[in-house]
Amino acid sequence: MIEDSPFFLGLDCGGTGCRAVLLDAPGYPLGTGAGGAANIASTPQAVLHTSVQLAVKGAYELAGISVASRRAPIRVCAGCAGWSAADKRVSFLGFLQELTGCLDCDLLPDYEIALFAACQHNPGVLLSAGTGAVAIGRSNEGVVYRHDGLGYLLGDLGSGYQIGLCALKHAAFNLQSGNPPDALTVAVLQKLGITDLPQLLGWLYPDFQTAKVAALAECVCTLADANEVIALSIVTQAATDLIDTVDVVRQKLQLRADGPVYVSGSLLANSTIMRSLVEANLGRSPLQLLNVSTSPAEAAANLALRTWKERR
């Protein structure tokens, strides 16, 4: 990049990874970087700081900016998982200002950045389904509303976690009842590399992680794609839950029923059957599903740039 030319930093601080993007003043990407877990509420502070430092350092290096030079971005915008933890947010803001040398830092909820990545400031709905599930929308008046995204205990209906949990419950019931293992039970056992119920319980509880339960969604969707009855019923219910979540957002914001729904997350990106079922919209008018082409980190950088231009 040209020495001393202005640049802007966007960050996507998520539970499984941190991404950084640098943009120049015309809006062209200069560099990207990646780090580890960066949920500002739940990630240990030392890990959080290391993750963000790695991501920023990688973006600087690709852009040809020496970290040692202490060149500061004009503005920083970060989308943060765990944003609602106000005390952690204040602490993270101070760290980010010190790390970048930029006092003009804006912290936003990760879902707002994701929505901007999907439809910028236009009205629309984003449905994100991976380990968890949430729908976010913006009305014609600019009001933002989010539905679900309540976590694995209170919500995340239609998520990969919920699909995986249903499969585990089915397999556990079959194994405890002594029934001949059906196709779904066999698929679960093979996926986990186990053979009986005690092993299943040992896999699940001592090191419980929502992500490893959600990873079972892949084999459930594969069976559903082959019309295995139990797997298909689980996936159909998950698709129904996602459609209902989108409907709540649309009704709350009074959005058109035929408007596009932007989708993100591994469940809708990797599963043909899930995407098809959601698109079919429970037999009503088919949903218009569109992929999100801009990454959250780049969207955050664009927000930083846009705000700077608006203030000039």
* Prediction pTM value: 0.84
Could you list the pLDDT tens digit for every one of the 312 residues in the chain?
555 789 999 999 987 789 999 999 999 999 999 999 899 988 899 999 999 999 999 999 999 987 777 789 999 999 998 888 999 999 999 999 999 999 999 999 988 899 999 998 899 999 999 888 999 999 999 999 999 999 889 999 999 999 999 999 999 999 999 989 999 999 999 999 999 999 999 999 998 988 899 999 999 999 999 999 999 999 999 999 999 999 999 999 999 888 889 998 888 887 789 999 999 998 888 999 999 889 999 999 999 999 999 887
Rg (CA), the chain: 21
Q: pLDDT tens, 125-156?
A: 999 998 889 999 999 999 999 999 998 899 99
Close Cβ partners of 100 (under 8 Å, ≥ 6 residues apart): 9, 56, 72, 73, 76
Alpha carbon distance 101, 79 (integer Å): 18
Question: What would the CATH number be for the domain defined by 122-292?
Answer: 3.30.420.40
Residue 42 in contact with residue 82, Cβ under 8 Å? yes
**Rounded to whole angstroms, how far apart are CA atoms 155 and 136?**
15
Dihedral sign for Cα atoms in the order 186, 188, 192, 195: negative
Which H or E run contains 177? helix 160-177
What residue spans define the domains of the chain? 7-103, 122-292
Q: Do domains 7-103 and 122-292 have the same CATH topology?
A: yes
The per-residue pLDDT for range 46-80, each reduced to its tens digit, is 999 999 999 999 999 999 987 777 789 999 999 99
Superfamily classification of domain 7-103: ATPase, nucleotide binding domain (3.30.420.40)
Cα–Cα separations (whole angstroms), residue 148 to 107, 124, 165, 243, 310: 22, 17, 18, 12, 33
DSSP state of 256: -
